[in-house]
């Protein structure tokens, strides 16, 4: 049986789901792979604006990125580092109601993030994305809009409560942006926790 493919003229007549214009022929990467790529782009943008350097451990051993921040104001060292575990979800509303939202984390990842006595602090960064891929990104002459945003939480000391996965509470007040990253690094540089 022959596979029927739409002719270019037919494809050009298709419209985006929100009716904003002609449909875009997107690649066939899995949505989860695209989510991972987008959250890495977000992290790179935040790190660049905060004046931080990034490195990716290989193999990652459950931690996605290391972020370093150099400043003569740091008391513990002239450069401090934190480790970041990135996650992304389309399952939560763009602007979560209340002071927290729940995110389910594999216990193996939680155990690594929950260790309290560590040399390099670790945080979880969760990116909330619209359910429709065509709503993730908008570009114009004045701005590149990436929807929605990332939130961060320090899970040091968090108990593992589920058999395989545990729900953690992520504060909606902790938006992960360049100012938040600079504040985190200042606290770590003073010998405190993120």
**Confidence bin at 84 (pLDDT 50/70/90):** very high
Structural domains counted in the chain: 1
Domain membership of residue 18 (yes or no) is no
Average pLDDT over residues 101-109: 95
Domain membership of residue 94 (yes or no) is yes
Residue 11: pLDDT above 90?
no
Q: Residue 60: its pLDDT value, please?
A: 79
Domain membership of residue 105 (yes or no) is yes
Q: pLDDT by residue (tens digit) across 90-102?
A: 987 667 888 999 9
Domain span holding position 159: 29-189
Domain membership of residue 17 (yes or no) is no
Q: Residue 62: its pLDDT value, please?
A: 78
Q: Residue 17: its pLDDT value, please?
A: 62
pTM, rounded to two decimals: 0.86
Domain membership of residue 21 (yes or no) is no
**Confidence bin at 59 (pLDDT 50/70/90):** confident
Q: Which helix (H) or strand (E) holds 66?
A: strand 65-70
Domain membership of residue 10 (yes or no) is no
Distance CA 17, CA 24 (A): 10
Preceding peptide of 59 cis, ω within 30°: yes
Distance CA 131, CA 129 (A): 6
Average pLDDT value for the chain: 88
Domain membership of residue 14 (yes or no) is no
CATH number, domain with residue 67: 3.40.1350.10
Domain membership of residue 109 (yes or no) is yes
Residue 194: pLDDT above 90?
yes
Residues sharing a CB contact under 8 Å with residue 168, sequence separation 6 or more, in sequence order? 102, 103, 104, 105, 110, 124, 153, 155, 158
């Amino acid at each position: 049986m022959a596979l029927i493919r739409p002719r270019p003229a037919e494809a050009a007549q298709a419209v985006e789901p929100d009716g904003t214009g002609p449909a875009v022929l997107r690649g066939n990467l899995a949505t989860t792979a695209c989510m991972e790529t987008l959250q890495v782009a977000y992290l790179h943008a935040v790190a660049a604006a905060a004046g931080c350097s990034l490195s990716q451990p290989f193999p990652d051993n459950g931690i996605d990125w290391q972020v370093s921040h150099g400043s003569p104001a740091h008391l513990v060292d002239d450069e401090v580092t934190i480790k970041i575990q990135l996650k992304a979800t389309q399952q939560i509303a763009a602007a979560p109601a209340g002071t927290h939202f729940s995110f389910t984390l594999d216990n193996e990842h939680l155990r690594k993030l929950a260790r309290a006595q560590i040399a390099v602090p670790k945080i979880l960064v969760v990116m909330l994305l619209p359910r429709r891929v065509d709503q993730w990104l908008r570009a114009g002459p004045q701005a590149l809009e990436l929807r929605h945003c990332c939130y961060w939480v320090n899970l040091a000391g968090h108990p593992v409560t589920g058999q395989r996965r545990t729900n953690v509470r992520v504060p909606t007040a902790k938006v992960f942006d360049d100012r938040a990253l600079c504040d985190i690094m200042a606290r770590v540089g003073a010998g405190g926790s993120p």
